[in-house]
Structure 1
Amino acid sequence: MSLDRLAPAIFVLLWSTGWVVAKFGAIVSEPLTFLSIRYIAAAILFGGLCVVSGVAWPRDRRTIVHAVVSGAFLHGLYLGAVWWAIGEGVPAALSSIIAALQPLMTALAAPYFIGERLSGTQKAGLCLGFLGVLLAVLPKFFGQGAAEIPAFALVINMLGMAAVTYGTIYQKQYLPTGDIRAIATLQYAGALIVTVPLALGLESLHVDFGWAFVAALAWSVLGISMGAVLLLLYLLRRGQVSRAASLIYLVPPIAALQAAAIFGEELTISMILGTLIVVAGVYLTNRKDPAPAE
C-alpha cells in the first residue's frame, strides 16, 4: 500500500495522541514551558537529521522567513493557545471541537488566498464532519460544571484555531517546494520565537523532571512533532489544503476513544455515532470527483 493511502490514517492516529500528551504534560510541567522544551528538542533532532541526510537548506532569505513565519502560526500560536487554554480549565474535548472548526474556516478562506475551490460534495463532507464532531463531543458539556469554563480561555483557544487555519494556508501558498525536513527545522525555530517569551512572561518555568516527563516529551517530539508534522507537510504538498485540513475532523472522536481507554473517561453512544458520521464526512471531502465524460 502506498504512502499516499497510509499517510492520512497514520497522521490522524499520531496527531490525536496530542490530547492525551497534553493531559500528561500538565501534570509534569507548565504548558508553555513544556512546549518550549519540546520545540527545542524537535529543532535539534530535525537539524541533525538534515545534516546526516545531506539535506539542501533553503538559500534565499524569503523561503527561510516564510518557513519561520509558518512555524510561528502552525506550532507556536496554535499549540501555545490550545495548551494554555486547557491548562486554564478548558476541557480537552471542548478544545477539540473548537479545533474542528478549522476545516470550515480553511475552506472559506482558501478561495481568497490561493484560489482553491471545493466541489458541492466536498462542501457537504465538511459540514457533515462538523456535525459529527458536535454529536460526538458536545453532550459532555450539558452537565454540571459546564458554566465554570473560563470565557477568556475559550477566546484564546479560538484564536489558536484561527492561527492554525492561517498557518495551513500560508504553508500551501508560500512553501510549495523545498525539503520538508529543512522546512520543519525552521518552523520549530519560528515556534520558539512565540513560546519562549510567553513562557518567560506567564509561567515560572516549573518542570518535574522524571520518567513521566521524559516519556511525555519523547512521544511529543518523536511521535507528534516529527512523525505527525512530517506527514502533515507531506499531505499539504500532495493534495488540496482543504482536504488535508479535513483530517482534523477525525481527531476529536479518536482522542475521546483514547481518553476512554487510558483515563477511563465515559464513552457514550453519541460519541460512537458521531465518529461514524465524521468518517463519512472526511471520506466525502477527500474523495476525487470523477472526470466529466467526453
Structure 2
Amino acid sequence: MTGSVESPWLRAMPLVFVGIWSTGFVVARFGMPHAPPLGFLAWRYALSVLAFGVWIVLTRPSWPRGQAQWGWLALVGVLMHGGYLGGVWSAVKLGLGAGTAALIVGLQPVLTALWVAWAGSEHRVTPRQWAGLALGLAGLVLVVWHKLGVGEVTGANVALALGALASITVGTLVQKARVRPCDVRTANTVQLLAAFAVTAPLALALETEPIVLHPELLGAMAWSVLGLTLGGSSLLYLLIQRGAATRVSSLMYLVPPCTALLAWLLFDEALTAGVLLGLVLTAFGVGLVVRAPAQR
C-alpha cells in the first residue's frame, strides 16, 4: 500500500453499508405479512432493474466486457440476491425464528475466513483477525440469544437458512475472485436480472398466497428498491471489489446488533444488557478484522 489517504466517504462506506443493510429486518417486518417471500423479492428485483435502468439511461455508464464477465455477474446475482435473500425470507416465513436465522447466516465471516485460509489466498487470515472473528461470533450469539428457540425449527426452514448462508458466502468469494472491476450500476443490473430470472418462476410455481397492496407493503417495497438494492447492494459490490473477502464479510457481524437497535427504536423491542454487551464485542471483533495491517 502507498501512503495515499482515503476520502472520508470511502472510510465511511462500511458503516453506511451496515446501517442500510440492517434495515432489512424492518422491511421484512412490514412487508412479509402482506406478500409471500419469493413474490415480494421478484417484484423487488424487477423494480430495482427499472430504477437502475433509468439511472443508466441518464448517466450512460459502461457495461461489463465479455461473455465471461456477464456470466460471473449473473452467477453472483443468483447467489447473493436470489439465494441469500430468498433463503432467509423463505426460512422465516416457514417459521424459523429471526434470531436463529441471524445466527445461521451470521456464520458467513467464519466460513469465508476458513476458505481463505484453506485456499492460501494472498489476503491470508492473521491471528489477530481470527481473534476478531471469534469475538464477533460471540457478540452475535449474545445479540440473538434471547430469540433463539422462538419459532419452529424444522428440517425445511433450517435447510433454507443454510442455503442462504452458502449462497452469500460463495457469492462473495466468486465476485472477489472472478469479477473484474466494472461500473456498479450496470453490474448490479446484470445481477438483478439473473436473480429475477430465477426467483420469478419459483414464485409462480411454489407460492399461492396473494400480494396485498397494503400501505406497509408499498413502503417496504419502496425502501427495498431505493435503499436496500440501489444503496446497500451497490455499496456491498463496491466493498467486495475494493477489500479482502474476510474483511468485507466480517461487516455482516454488525448487522444483527444494528438491527436490534432499530427494533428498539421502531418497535420498542427490549434492548437488554446482553444485547448491548454483544454489540460492543461484535464491534470490537470487527475492528480487529478490518484494521489495516501494520506497515513494515
TM range (shorter): over 0.9
Moved more, 133-142 or 243-252: 133-142
Are 1:278 and 2:282 counterparts? yes
Give the aligned residue type for 1:280.
F
Are 1:50 and 2:56 counterparts? yes
Give the aligned residue type for 1:137.
V
Separation (CA, whole Å) in 1 of partners of 2:129 and 2:121: 17
What secondary structure is seen at the aligned counterpart in 1 of 2:20? helix
Q: Is the 8 A contact 1:114 1:173 kept in 2?
A: no
Are 1:125 and 2:132 counterparts? yes
Separation (CA, whole Å) in 2 of partners of 1:53 and 1:233: 19
Separation (CA, whole Å) in 2 of partners of 1:94 and 1:66: 31
What secondary structure is seen at the aligned counterpart in 2 of 1:177? coil
Separation (CA, whole Å) in 2 of partners of 1:40 and 1:236: 24
Point out where structure 1 has 5 or more consecutive residues left out of the alignment. Answer: none
Moved more, 160-169 or 90-99: 90-99
Are 1:26 and 2:32 counterparts? yes
Q: 2:141 aligns with which of 134, 145, 149?
A: 134
* Partner residue, 1:102: 108
Are 1:204 and 2:212 counterparts? no
Alignment RMSD: 1.5
In the TM superposition, what is the alpha-carbon distance from 1:202 to its structure 2 partner?
Answer: 1.2
Give the aligned residue type for 1:246.
S
Aligned residue pairs total 289
Give the aligned residue type for 2:236.
L
* Partner residue, 1:221: 225
Moved more, 87-96 or 224-233: 87-96
Give the aligned residue type for 2:130.
K
Q: 1:84 aligns with which of 90, 94, 99?
A: 90
Q: 1:8 aligns with which of 10, 14, 21?
A: 14
TM-score by length of 2: 0.93
What secondary structure is seen at the aligned counterpart in 1 of 2:80? helix
* Partner residue, 2:81: 75
What secondary structure is seen at the aligned counterpart in 1 of 2:70? helix
* Partner residue, 1:65: 71
Separation (CA, whole Å) in 1 of partners of 2:222 and 2:214: 12
Provide the identity percentage: 37
In the TM superposition, what is the alpha-carbon distance from 1:113 to its structure 2 partner?
Answer: 8.0
In the TM superposition, what is the alpha-carbon distance from 1:227 to its structure 2 partner?
Answer: 0.3
TM-score by length of 1: 0.94
Separation (CA, whole Å) in 2 of partners of 1:92 and 1:19: 9
In the TM superposition, what is the alpha-carbon distance from 1:205 to its structure 2 partner?
Answer: 5.4
Q: Is the 8 A contact 1:95 1:157 kept in 2?
A: yes
* Partner residue, 2:43: 37
Point out where structure 2 has 5 or more consecutive residues left out of the alignment. Answer: 1-6
* Partner residue, 2:197: 193
Give the aligned residue type for 2:247.
R
What secondary structure is seen at the aligned counterpart in 2 of 1:14? helix
Q: Deviations over 1:38-95 (max 9, x none)?
A: 0001111112212211111123111111111110000001100000001111122221
